[in-house]
């Protein structure tokens, strides 16, 4: 006897006791489409950003093409050689002064994803451009519950620690909804989790009950989950169980962080409940939330800043007691450059963790990484010189050719790469930022 499985809408939710949560992409949402599985999966865009530039000799491979030797900063990516490529020579001409007063971070950071020249101002009349991620989000429309997710590690700075003559808005984030509206970065994992699963779909009574009982959102929806699981095929049941387990694990980590609020490294301000005191745990938790959001198709667009531009964070856990920004202006001192190189490599280890998490998370017959374009970079190459014309850029994921080092003519606008990326994401764009032509070689090979 033929068993008829239910056909589920992509907007199907698990519900219960005033709570609701999205489902991962299941085969039951795509009946009869297994043969065209890969092509029918949604495409995604992720951007991973490190502040304060790089020690380029430790990042940039000596050889071009395939089989290049991994320099020290890129060594953590060794397990993912075929999933990423290094693109050398890209820059942002719009980060130049163009008659404005001297500055570096305040112009380069907003140019990173917009290809636009930031207006010099410390007031509210900020202006840059629409960022690549938001162009893609606008193209997707209401395909997902959240248009995009902007995550980071550092809380926004409103006073101090901002580039002279430039508003803090220019260095707090990299995502711009419009030329005058930068999108805020969320650094608190509890707030991110509630945005993904609690806001809008959990009524006030349910939220209060959850807080009183310190229970998981899964406790509210498990009855519905068990009912649905009994109607699914074996592969979908496995995928649903994997998703629920991952959600439960993240909740527990957030609850542990909230129970023991830590003290921020800089100064004596107490961190908000939900932010882990351990930097590595904080970064991995935010990455896991980003992956979970992609897995559940809550959004297909995400940016992650492992530190805000001009970050003065210290890294005693890896033997770097001096501040990141101070070390980025090393004056070619070998000891300071070595310390900065440690930070660069440390940040790359978390990017490797991100790639592994995306690889390990199934999406149909493949993984989340298979249908994602990932851009990883910084607003500077040589941070000591505030060099914005030779950036450390990596493209990764299944939507771009991997396993090579491509060197383009130095000074080629990074907007050309972003235009090619948008086209690979099926956005019918003919230009972006200050692009001159789509750099298809960086995507297609």
Does 281 lie in the same domain as 170? yes
pLDDT of residue 62: 96
Euclidean distance between CA atoms 387 and 383, whole angstroms: 6
Residue 18 domain-assigned? no
Euclidean distance between CA atoms 132 and 403, whole angstroms: 24
pLDDT of residue 223: 72
Residue 389 domain-assigned? yes
Does 167 lie in the same domain as 76? yes
Residue 39 domain-assigned? no
Does 390 lie in the same domain as 360? yes
Does 406 lie in the same domain as 306? yes
pLDDT of residue 128: 97
Distance, CA of 292 to chain centre: 12
Does 119 lie in the same domain as 79? yes
pLDDT of residue 30: 65
Q: Mean pLDDT per segment of 10 residues, for the chain of length 445 residues?
A: 56 64 69 54 96 95 96 98 97 90 86 96 93 98 92 77 84 96 93 74 50 57 72 75 77 69 38 76 96 92 96 96 95 96 98 97 90 96 91 97 96 97 98 97 88
Contact 274, 257 (CB under 8 A): yes
Residue 22 domain-assigned? no
How many angstroms separate the first and last alpha carbons of the chain? 49
Across the strands, what pairs with 405? 65, 86
pLDDT of residue 268: 33
Q: What residue has token string 């395909």?
A: 143
Euclidean distance between CA atoms 65 and 84, whole angstroms: 12
Does 298 lie in the same domain as 267? no
Q: What residue has token string 């440690």?
A: 342
Contacts of 160 (CB under 8 A, 6+ apart): none
pLDDT of residue 20: 67
Residue 264 domain-assigned? yes
Does 165 lie in the same domain as 90? yes
Please say which residue of 224, 247, 272 terminates a domain.
Answer: 272
Residue 128 domain-assigned? yes
Residue 404 domain-assigned? yes
Interhelix angle 279-295/234-259, rounded to 10 degrees, is 150
Cα→Cα distances 256→155, 211, 214, 219, Å: 20, 14, 11, 18
Residue 355 domain-assigned? yes
Does 132 lie in the same domain as 166? yes
Please say which residue of 221, 242, 272 terminates a domain.
Answer: 272
Give the structural domain span for 224: 200-272
Across the strands, what pairs with 21? 14
CATH of the domain at 320: 3.40.720.10
SS3 call for 138: helix
Does 431 lie in the same domain as 412? yes
Does 178 lie in the same domain as 50? yes
Please say which residue of 241, 257, 272 terminates a domain.
Answer: 272
Classify residue 230 as exposed, middle or buried by CB count within 10 Å of its CB (0-12, 13-18, 19+). exposed
280: nearest Cα among 249, 315, 330: 315
pTM: 0.85
Does 296 lie in the same domain as 403? yes
Does 283 lie in the same domain as 262? no
pLDDT of residue 401: 96
Tally of domains in the chain: 2
């Amino acid at each position: 006897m033929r068993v008829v499985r239910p056909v589920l809408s992509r907007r199907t939710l698990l519900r219960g006791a005033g709570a609701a949560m999205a489902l991962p992409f299941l085969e039951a949402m795509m009946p009869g489409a297994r043969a065209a599985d890969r092509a029918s999966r949604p495409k995604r865009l992720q951007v991973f950003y490190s502040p304060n530039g790089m020690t380029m000799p430790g990042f940039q491979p000596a050889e071009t093409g395939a089989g290049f030797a991994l320099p020290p900063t890129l060594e953590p990516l060794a397990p993912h050689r075929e999933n990423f490529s290094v693109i050398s020579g890209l820059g942002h001409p719009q980060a130049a002064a163009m008659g404005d007063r001297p500055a570096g971070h305040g112009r380069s950071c907003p140019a990173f994803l917009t290809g636009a020249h930031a207006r010099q101002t410390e007031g509210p009349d900020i202006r840059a451009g629409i960022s690549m991620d938001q162009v893609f989000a606008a193209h997707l429309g209401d395909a997902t519950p959240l248009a995009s997710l902007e995550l980071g590690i550092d809380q926004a700075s409103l006073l101090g620690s901002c580039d002279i003559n430039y508003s803090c808005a220019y260095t707090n984030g990299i995502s711009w909804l419009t030329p005058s509206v930068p999108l805020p970065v969320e650094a608190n994992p509890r707030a991110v989790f509630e945005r993904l699963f609690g806001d809008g779909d959990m009524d006030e009574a349910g939220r209060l009950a959850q807080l009183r009982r310190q229970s998981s959102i899964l406790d509210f929806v498990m009855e519905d989950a068990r009912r649905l699981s009994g109607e699914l095929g074996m592969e979908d049941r496995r995928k649903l169980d994997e998703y629920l387990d991952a959600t439960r694990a993240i909740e527990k980590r957030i609850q542990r962080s909230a129970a023991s609020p830590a003290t921020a490294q800089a100064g004596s301000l107490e961190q908000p409940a939900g932010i882990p005191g351990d930097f590595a745990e904080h970064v991995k938790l935010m990455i896991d939330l980003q992956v979970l959001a992609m897995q559940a198709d809550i959004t297909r667009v995400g940016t992650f800043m492992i530190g805000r531009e001009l970050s003065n964070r210290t890294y005693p856990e890896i033997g770097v007691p001096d501040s990141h920004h101070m070390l980025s202006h090393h004056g070619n001192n070998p000891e300071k450059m070595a310390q900065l190189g440690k930070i660069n490599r440390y940040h790359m280890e978390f990017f490797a963790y991100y790639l592994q998490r995306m690889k390990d998370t199934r999406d149909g017959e493949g993984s989340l990484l298979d249908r994602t374009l990932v851009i990883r970079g910084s607003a500077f190459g040589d941070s000591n010189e505030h060099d914005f014309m030779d950036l450390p850029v990596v493209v990764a994921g299944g939507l771009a050719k991997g396993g090579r080092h491509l060197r383009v003519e130095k000074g080629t606008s990074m907007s050309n790469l972003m235009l090619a990326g948008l086209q690979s994401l099926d956005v019918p764009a003919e230009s972006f930022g200050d692009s001159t032509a789509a750099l298809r070689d960086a995507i297609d090979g």
